């Protein structure tokens, strides 16, 4: 909706959204992860803002903060805990997503190859 929000996570397997100006939580926590969330990254897709979460169950999940729902099937490819995330806007307007893991691999996706 055009607002700037902060996202946080902890050992409770949820993602919480915050209003940075007032320090108050926004909406209900995003839930559904079965393991600890280790990293978050914000990305912008043509459909709107999205949040990327990396977890101990070897997956990366794209979330729509407005609806509180995942926007695709989990991104898989790692064999161990996903520990870090990054995104970069490509010159052709797609977004490159990168994840690293304790399996010592880097997995890359472009937004036109995210499973739906």
pLDDT of 45 reads 66
pLDDT tens per residue, range 22-60: 889 998 999 988 889 999 988 766 666 688 899 888 888
pTM above 0.95, yes or no: no
> Which tens digit of pLDDT belongs to each residue from 77-111?
899 999 999 988 888 878 888 999 999 999 998 87
Mean pLDDT of 67-79: 87
DSSP secondary structure letters along 41-71: EEEEETTEEEEEEEETTS-EEEEETTTTEES
Residue 80: count of CB within 10 angstroms of its CB = 12
Integer Cα distance of 93 and 32 in angstroms: 30
Q: Is 81 in a helix, a strand, or coil?
A: coil
């Amino acid at each position: 909706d055009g607002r700037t929000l902060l996202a946080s996570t902890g050992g409770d397997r949820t993602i919480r959204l915050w209003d940075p100006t007032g320090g108050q939580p926004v909406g209900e926590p995003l839930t559904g992860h079965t393991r600890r969330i280790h990293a978050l990254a914000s990305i912008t897709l043509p459909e709107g803002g999205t949040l990327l979460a990396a977890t101990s169950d070897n997956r990366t999940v794209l979330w729509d903060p407005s609806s509180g729902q995942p926007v695709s099937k989990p991104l898989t490819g790692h064999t161990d805990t996903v520990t870090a995330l990054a995104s970069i806007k490509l010159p052709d307007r797609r977004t490159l997503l990168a994840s690293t893991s304790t399996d010592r691999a880097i997995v890359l996706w472009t937004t036109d190859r995210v499973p739906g």
